[in-house]
Amino acid sequence: MTDAEVKILVGEKDAKILQRIRKILTEESYGVWTCDDPGELSRIYESGSFDLLILDITLYAQLRRQETRIGRLDDDAAQIIILTDEANFPAALEAIKEGALDFIEKPVRVKRLLVSIRNALQHARKLQEIRKDQKELATLKELYERIIDGIDYGIVVLDPELRIESINRHLQRKQRQDAAHAVGEHCYRFFYNRGAICDECRVKEVFESGTAVKYNLIHRTPWGLQYHLEVEAFPLFDREGRVNRVVQLSKDVTERVRLEEELREKKDYLESLLAHAPVGIFSTDQHGLIRAANPEFVEIIGAKEASRVIGLSVLESEEFVRNGLAEQFRRVLTEGLPLEIDSHVCHFSWGRQSICSLRGAPLRTKDNQIAGLITTVQDVTVRSHLEENFRKRIAELSIFKELGELLQSTVDLQDIYAIALIGVTAGVSLGFNRAFILRYNRSSNVLIGETAIGPSDAEEAGRIWSKLYEKQLSLKEIFANYKETLGTRDVRVNEIVKRLRIQMTWEEGLLPEVLFRNLPKNVRNASQTTFSDQRLLAAELGCEAFAIVPLISRGKVEGVIIADDLITGKEITEEDVNRLSIISNQIGAAIENSRLLQNLEEKVEALRLAYLDLKENRDLLLRAERLSAVGEVAAMVAHEIRNPLTSIGGFARAVKRDLEKSHKIETNRRFLDIIIEEVKRLERIVTEILGFVRPVAMRFAPTNIHEVIDQTFSMMSGEIDESRVVVTRDFQPDMPPIWIDADQIRQVMLNLLRNALHAMKGEGMLSVVTEATNRAARIYVADTGEGIRADHVEKVFNAFFTTKTTGSGLGLTISMQIVKSHGGSIEVDSREGEGSTFIITLPLRSGEVSHEKEDSRRGRRKKPAHLV
Amino acid sequence: MKKRILVVDDEKNLRILYEEELKSEGYDVDIADSAESAFKCLDHKVYDVIVLDIQMPGMSGLEAMGHMLHKNRRQAIILNTAYSQFKDDFESWSADAYVVKSGDLTELKEKIKELVS
């Protein structure tokens, strides 16, 4: 501040003095305002900011009494210099007490005045500086307080007695109390409402050690809330270096702790998941270095400890390169391609070989950069083996099935053996090199070579097998091929097998084990044994290792199958032997089938012969029955005609005797002799019939049936004409000739027509209709007569059944016999009161058929007779 | 005195034949058409020979013969039948003769002659 900028207000009632001061100050270049009136003065003072007031004491006193701003010690107040005379000294001293800076005696001396002004201005400047500093401090204080109050920490200052000296607003809010209650209170009472220091409190420690501590504690409020606090307590020192206060900062970390716990749980969960996952899992960084691996992964690769694999490079480590995995992992890491490897054979240097399935994927950062990879590894060794086994079993089963089908296609024992040999040796099947079948002859107790299959040497084997391999032949095709080339191949093995003839003994040996105890054997080092039969076999087969299984059919030992791998020298496994046994069982069953079938065929033949015998007997029986029926009929006929014959003969003789006396004796006698002769002949016939009934010889000939029917009607014409019966005939056109005995069929027609006429009692309609089918001719004889009672229909064909007073009851019986002897049939369809229809069916070629029958039967009869 | 003959037969014509023929041979002939009527005749007369048919309605000739022989064990009986098979029948052995019916009555007449003489 220059002098010119200094504004000075001068108040003086004495105009001279006022003038003088004005002059002095103006000369000194101060800004000068003067005034002699107290009211005016106050107004001027208020209107501008003056640095200095120079006031007459009386004016000052007046202004003080009026309580203007002048003389008050406020910040912006101007410094005051009092002008006084001697009389007002005490008042001036009073003014100094009240804050005036100086007083000057009147008359005013220039030098004194200027010195005082300069002092006053200096003082004013200092004062101004102090005020400015104070203001800055206040601002700063407020800022800090705001910071402290606004901060998220609880801050409390404690004295050595643990009384609260100050507490920030944050804590007050937390505590729901205000500072008024807090200050001077023991912290444990204020915060916890306790009577003594808290156990977990470490503030005391800070007082004692003078070093800051940091710790966590759980703060439970009296109203039940729980906070996790992070506490930091640090000491404040006095000038002597003693701790006189401790500031305690506490931060509420409840939420953080909760999140941390959650995070830890999540982490634990994930870790446990990884640890217990049934698949191996590992991850790498972007360089392919393994960062994490779970126990299962370690287990799968056999590393025992995770530390062995952590840090390994999946791209460069020999473990992964050797197993052909490194390149796959590289693609995941560089191209981000997912990895999928199934049933990969892995062999890590720590453990055994295993079969694994791997699935991998890149790990990516938020901005989609590849940050590594994660891969799961599953040990599928067992499953793979099972699958492999399963596939093998299925293949085996299908072979056995094919073999079974092939075996079912034949019952020929040689074929069965051939199929067995093929089953044992075919590459698609068991794939033995050679196979032999030996049969056991029970009666002589000898095992005899039957047949064999197999190449003579490696050269032949190579030729045959490669051919078979190229063609991929099925068993069936091989079998067909085998049958074609039978005799031209497998020469040597068949030489061997034909030579084999082993007498079984009671000695211990290989063969008794196999044959009598049904034990399949896998023989190795065949010559190095005490069993003589085994040594013999080895020598004959020229082979040291072979499988031998019993061939059993229907519980009986049939022989053995021997198989070896002479050419390839492959070791025969127990499984091979098992399969050989299965084939052997199949063959056994096939042999059994073959035998059964053979038995069955024999039985069928025996049954067929028995049937023929029975049939013949039955034919004979029928014939006998028929003969006896004919006999009965004949007897009846004989009886019926004996009496009339007797009377005819008797009377004829009587007449003859009488006539001897009259004319024309000779002629009459001759006639009567004829009657007598004829009757005699009849009687003789009757006698013969009665004595020995012979079937009537049939005379078959192709016959027009319509002619036969017409002839019958002619014979009946008399009776028909006498009646009022209308006759209709409806004949099938082009009826072929029928092979019949015309006389007999005429007899039949006669019987039927006569019956019909009787049934109609002289009135009605009689129709005869014929028709032909492919195989038979039919004749319908229908009447409109009384019909047959339902209970009589069954009996009308029985001998001597009649409803007529004059009938013999034989007509229909005889008719039936005749039609049957023609191979035909006769039926009746009748309704009482409406009429009857008789239907005769005759085969169109009955004669020929019957001849054929006769021939074929004889032919069959003869064959067995020759065999016997 | 004429020998007396009873002819038993169900056939009317045969009865006439036998009656005429035997009468002409000089016998006294009675006829019966059944066993029952024959027994009636036997109640009134004694016959030297009875010619008996076997096959008859009602009582058969064999059965009738049994009754007749029961009454008179010495009764001469000729079985006269159309059938020859009864010849072997045990019962027919009790008959004095077994003649198969024939228009030629020579055999019958001879048998009768034998029996009455």
ipTM of the complex: 0.70
Q: Inspect the interface and report whether the beta carbons of B105 and A679 lie closer than 8 Å.
A: no
Q: How large a percentage of chain A has pLDDT more than 70?
A: 88
**Structural contact between residues A557 and A516, judged by C-beta atoms closer than 8 angstroms:** yes
Those of residues 3-42 in B touching chain A at CB distance below 8 A are 11, 13-14, 16-18, 20-21, 24
* Torsions phi, psi for A550 (to 5 deg): -75, 150
pLDDT at site A470: 67
Token reading at A164: 């609260």
- The reported pLDDT for the residue numbered A848 is 45
Alpha-carbon distance B104 to nearest alpha carbon in chain A (angstroms): 6
What residues of B are in contact with residue A677 (Cβ under 8 Å)? none
Q: How far is CA A72 from the centre of its chain?
A: 105
Compare CB distances from A690 to B24, B55, B83 and report the shortest one's residue: B83
Q: Report the alpha-carbon distance of residue B97 to residue B76 in Å, rounded.
A: 9
Domain at A151-258, CATH from 3.90.850.10, 3.40.50.300, 3.40.50.720, 3.30.450.20: 3.30.450.20
A contacts of B103 (beta carbons < 8 Å): 645-653, 676, 679-680, 683
Q: Is A238 helix (H, G, I), strand (E, B) or coil?
A: coil
**Contact between A653 and B105 using a beta-carbon 8 Å cutoff:** yes
Spatial distance between the Cα atoms of A243 and A162, rounded to a whole number of angstroms: 12
Predicted local distance difference test score (pLDDT) of residue A627: 57
> Can you spell out the DSSP letters for A788-850?
--HHHHTTTTSTT--SSSS--S-HHHHHHHHHHHTT-EEEEEEETTTEEEEEEEEETTHHHHH
Q: Which residue among B82, B100, B105 sits closest to A643, beta carbon to beta carbon?
A: B82
Closest Cα of chain A to B1: distance in Å?
25
* Chain B residue nearest residue A634, CA to CA: B83
> Of residues A684 and A504, which shows the higher confidence score?
A504
What's chain A's average pLDDT? 82
Q: For A194-209, how does the pLDDT look when each residue is reduced to its tens digit (9 = 90+)?
A: 888 888 888 888 998 9
Rounded to a whole number of angstroms, the distance from the CA of B3 to the nearest CA of chain A is 21
Distance from the Cα of B25 to chain A's closest Cα (Å) equals 12
pLDDT for A625: 62
Choose the mutation target among B20, B31, B33, B100 for the interface with A, i.e. most A CBs under 10 Å.
B100
Q: Do B101 and A653 touch (CB under 8 A)?
A: no
Residue among B18, B21, B103 whose CB faces A648 most closely: B103
B4-116 CATH choice from 3.40.50.2300, 3.30.300.160, 3.40.1260.10, 3.40.718.10: 3.40.50.2300
The two three-digit tokens of residue B67, written as one number:
């009754």
Distance CA A21, CA A3 (A): 15
Rounded CA separation A534/A541 (Å): 10
Does the structure show a pLDDT above 50 at A865?
Answer: no
Task: Provide CB contacts within 8 A for A646, sequence distance 6+.
Answer: B11, B14, B17, B82, B101, B102, B103
The whole-number pLDDT of residue A866 equals 35
CB proximity under 8 Å: B 72-111 to A? 82-85, 100-105
Under CATH, to which class is A389-588 assigned? alpha beta
- Quick check: B104 and A643 CB within 8 A? no
CATH of domain A290-379: 3.30.450.20
Contacts of B20 in chain A (CB under 8 A): 654
Chain B positions in Cβ-Cβ contact with residue A628 (cut-off 8 Å): none
Question: How far is CA A132 from its chain centroid?
Answer: 92
pLDDT for the residue numbered A847: 46
Min Cα–Cα distance to chain B from A719, Å? 26
Contacts of A683 in chain B (CB under 8 A): 102-103
Domain ranges of chain A: 3-134, 151-258, 290-379, 389-588, 701-853
Domains A3-134 and A151-258 share a fold: no
Q: Select the more confidently predicted residue: A401 or A780.
A: A780
Instruction: Tell me the pLDDT tens digit for each residue of A541-580.
Output: 888 999 999 998 888 888 999 999 888 888 888 888 988 8
Contact list in B for residue A678 (CB cut-off 8 A) is none
Q: Report the alpha-carbon distance of residue A572 to residue A513 in Å, rounded.
A: 19
Question: Are B78 and B65 in contact, with CB atoms under 8 Å apart?
Answer: no
CATH of A701-853, one of 3.20.20.60, 3.30.565.10, 3.40.50.1980, 3.20.20.10: 3.30.565.10
Partners of B101 on chain A (C-beta within 8 Å) are 642-643, 646
**Per-residue pLDDT, A864:** 35
Mean pLDDT per block of 10 residues along chain B (117 residues) reads: 91 86 91 93 92 87 89 90 66 78 88 89
Residue A665 pLDDT greater than 80, yes or no:
no
pLDDT at B77: 92
Question: How many C-alpha atoms does A815 have within 13 Å on its Cβ side?
Answer: 26
Task: Render pLDDT for A766-806 as a digit per residue (tens, 0 to 9).
Answer: 999 999 988 899 999 999 988 888 877 877 776 556 565 44
| Architecture of domain A3-134 in this structure | 3-Layer(aba) Sandwich (3.40)
Are the Cβ atoms of B82 and A691 closer than 8 angstroms?
A: no
From A169-178, A507-516, A533-542, A825-834, the region with the lowest mean pLDDT = A169-178
Which range among A212-221, A397-406, A490-499, A695-704 shows the weakest confidence by mean pLDDT? Answer: A695-704
